[in-house]
């Protein structure tokens, strides 16, 4: 019986960890789809906004808990091995404090992400797409290097372990992974519903108009600069919150370009998912995230099996995954550039109303154009 329980626990762990990663990548990919798919903003600096939210929220929450618990140490990063268990134990025994800390971290991530998005929008939205991509990419790399170089921020190259209030809060139940998954799934569902509402609204159609032809949208009286700025701010706020949610999933922060927040994970992979699933299509992003994780998890399990059997190969399998991602992107761009779920036009009125109009016309009747126009505006 004990063996069955241990196997069940291992099975739950094996399933919940990929599910947690699925939720995080889905949220991040939806923000990329909002900026790149709908508005045509090539935000290759997505890692910047994720890292700002994670780094600042993690650093502030760690310092805040040290202050509240009255912990003393000449170097708070050198005493992490002593401080972090005490913080986790306190959060496990004080649920209100844990919940308050979680909301505090999410608020910091959203505010800082939105602020950086607002500041970066001024030079960014006035540049051409290629220069815009290079600017945002360089900004993300600069922030990662600066965070690693400045020791009082995150402890330099050694990094730091952030408090994980959700994980600690569920410690008494023994189902920490399920608790974190519940939070991530709820957040992913909320972001997906929001993205769907935006895509089906007049704002979504405006974003497509700006993406397809800036000249035409300006001729229709649209402020392209303000529209792109607002989209970048919203996407950056959500990305900053993703950085905090990542700390709930994996609380260790290692700055630097080869640390835990790299451009491959938080910039290129979301773009691969969006292109794989289909740009400007949230259902495609959902499917693309699932397909990507299935491929990567299958490759990871196969690599583990090969290494466990003692096979010797002339290549480093840990580097093959990046090659696999690049090959997947090239294959999709060549064979199916529209993605798994191609973009479809958004209906301005409901299908039931369209069917009713067609039925009236077929019977020789006339439809009330004023009523149709009113419903179209309401949609």
pLDDT given for residue 179 in this prediction: 82
Spell out where the chain has E strands.
160-161, 252-253
| Shared domain check, 177 and 46 | yes
Residues 243 and 371 in one domain: no
Domain containing 363: what range?
Answer: 347-379
Residue 22 forms part of a structural domain: yes
Q: Is 250 left (phi over 0), alpha (psi -120 to 50) or beta?
A: beta
Q: Taking CA 22 as the corner, what is the angle to CA 16 and CA 27, rounded to the nearest 5 degrees?
A: 130
Cα dihedral across residues 288, 269, 196, 339: positive or negative: negative
Residues 109 and 258 reside in one and the same domain:
yes
Q: Rounded CA gap, 229 and 225, in Å?
A: 6
Residue 264: the pLDDT is 82
Same domain flag for 151 and 261: yes
Distance of CA 41 to the CA centre of its chain: 16
CB atoms within 10 A of CB 337: 11
- Parallel/antiparallel/unpaired status of strands 160-161 and 252-253: antiparallel
Give the whole-angstrom CA distance, residue 368 versus residue 373.
Answer: 9
- Which of 226, 250, 265 lies at the terminal end of a domain, its last residue? 265
What is the b/e burial string over 146-166, where b = at least 16 CB atoms within 10 angstroms of the residue's CB? ebbeeeebbbbeebbbbbbbb
Q: Output DSSP code: residue 157.
A: G
Whether residues 242 and 362 share a domain: the answer is: no
Inside any domain, residue 6: no
Does the residue 115 lie in any domain?
Answer: yes
160: β partners: 253
Sequence-distant (6+) residues with CB within 8 A of 266 are 28, 46, 47, 50, 51
Is position 81 within any domain? Answer: yes
User: What is the rounded distance in angstroms from the CA atom of residue 1 to the CA atom of residue 15?
Assistant: 21
Based on the domain organization, do 256 and 353 belong to the same domain? no
Do 243 and 368 share a domain, yes or no?
A: no
Domain identity same for 85 and 234: yes
First to last CA, the chain: 57
In a domain, 243, yes or no: yes
- Kindly state whether residues 99 and 225 are assigned to the same domain: yes
Q: Which residues have a Cβ under 8 Å from the Cβ of 54 and sit 6 or more positions away?
A: 109, 162, 243, 244, 246, 247, 253, 261
- 3-class DSSP assignment, residue 182: helix
Residues 120 and 15 in one domain: yes
State residue 377's pLDDT score.
Answer: 54
Largest interatomic CA distance in the chain: 86
Q: For the whole model, what pTM was predicted?
A: 0.86
Both 27 and 169 in a single domain? yes
Domain count, the chain: 2
Give the Cα separation of 26 and 83 in Å (integer): 33
Other beta carbons within 10 Å of 182: 16
Residue 312, in any domain of the structure: no
d(CA 277, CA 293): 12
- Is 283 within a domain? no
String of b and e for 194-203 (b: at least 16 CB within 10 Å)?
A: ebeebbeeee
Show which of 265, 280, 295 is a domain's final residue: 265
Per-residue pLDDT tens, the chain, 379 aa: give them.
444 666 666 666 677 888 999 999 999 999 999 999 898 888 888 989 999 999 999 999 999 999 999 888 778 888 888 898 899 888 888 888 888 999 999 999 999 999 998 888 777 666 666 677 777 788 888 888 888 888 888 888 788 888 888 877 666 556 677 888 889 999 999 999 999 999 888 888 888 888 888 788 888 788 888 888 889 899 999 999 999 999 988 888 887 655 568 888 888 899 999 999 998 889 999 999 999 999 888 888 888 777 777 777 777 777 787 888 888 888 888 888 888 888 877 766 667 777 777 777 777 654 455 555 555 555 5
Residue 106 inside a domain? The answer is yes
Which residue, 97, 99, 62, is CA-closest to 83?
62
370: exposed, middle or buried (Cβ count in 10 Å: 0-12, 13-18, 19+): exposed
Domain boundary among 213, 239, 265: 265
Domain shared by 217 and 354, yes or no? no
What are the structure tokens assigned to 148, written together? Answer: 């690693």
């Amino acid at each position: 019986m004990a063996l069955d329980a241990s196997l069940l626990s291992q099975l739950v762990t094996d399933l919940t960890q990929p599910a947690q990663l699925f939720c995080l990548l889905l949220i991040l990919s939806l923000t990329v789809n909002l900026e790149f798919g709908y508005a045509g903003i090539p935000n290759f600096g997505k890692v910047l906004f994720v890292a700002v939210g994670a780094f600042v929220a993690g650093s502030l929450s760690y310092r805040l808990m040290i202050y509240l618990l009255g912990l003393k140490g000449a170097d708070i990063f050198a005493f992490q091995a002593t401080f972090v268990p005490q913080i986790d134990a306190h959060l496990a025994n004080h649920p209100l404090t844990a919940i308050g800390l979680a909301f505090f971290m999410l608020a910091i991530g959203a505010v800082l992400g939105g602020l950086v998005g607002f500041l970066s929008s001024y030079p960014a939205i006035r540049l051409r797409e290629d220069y815009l991509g290079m600017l945002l990419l360089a900004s993300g790399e600069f922030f990662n290097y600066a965070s690693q170089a400045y020791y009082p921020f995150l402890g330099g190259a050694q990094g730091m372990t952030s408090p994980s209030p959700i994980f600690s809060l569920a410690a008494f139940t023994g189902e920490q992974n399920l608790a974190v998954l519940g939070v991530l799934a709820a957040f992913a569902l909320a972001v997906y519903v929001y993205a769907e509402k935006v895509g089906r609204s007049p704002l979504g159609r405006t974003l497509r108009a700006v993406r397809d032809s800036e000249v035409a949208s300006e001729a229709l009286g649209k402020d392209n600069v303000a529209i792109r700025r607002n989209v970048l701010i919203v996407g950056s706020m959500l990305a900053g919150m993703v950085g905090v949610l990542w700390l709930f999933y994996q609380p260790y922060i290692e700055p630097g370009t080869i640390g835990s927040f790299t451009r491959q994970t938080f910039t290129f992979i979301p773009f691969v998912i969006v292109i794989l699933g289909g740009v400007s299509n949230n259902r495609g992003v959902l499917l693309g995230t699932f397909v990507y994780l299935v491929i990567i998890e299958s490759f990871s399990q196969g690599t583990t099996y090969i290494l466990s059997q003692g096979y010797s190969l002339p290549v480093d399998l840990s580097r093959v995954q990046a090659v696999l991602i690049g090959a997947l992107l090239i294959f999709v761009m060549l064979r199916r550039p529209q993605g798994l779920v191609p973009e479809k036009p958004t209906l301005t009125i409901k299908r039931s109303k369209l069917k009713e109009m067609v039925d009236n016309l077929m019977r020789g009747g006339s439809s009330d154009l004023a009523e149709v126009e009113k419903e179209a505006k309401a949609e």
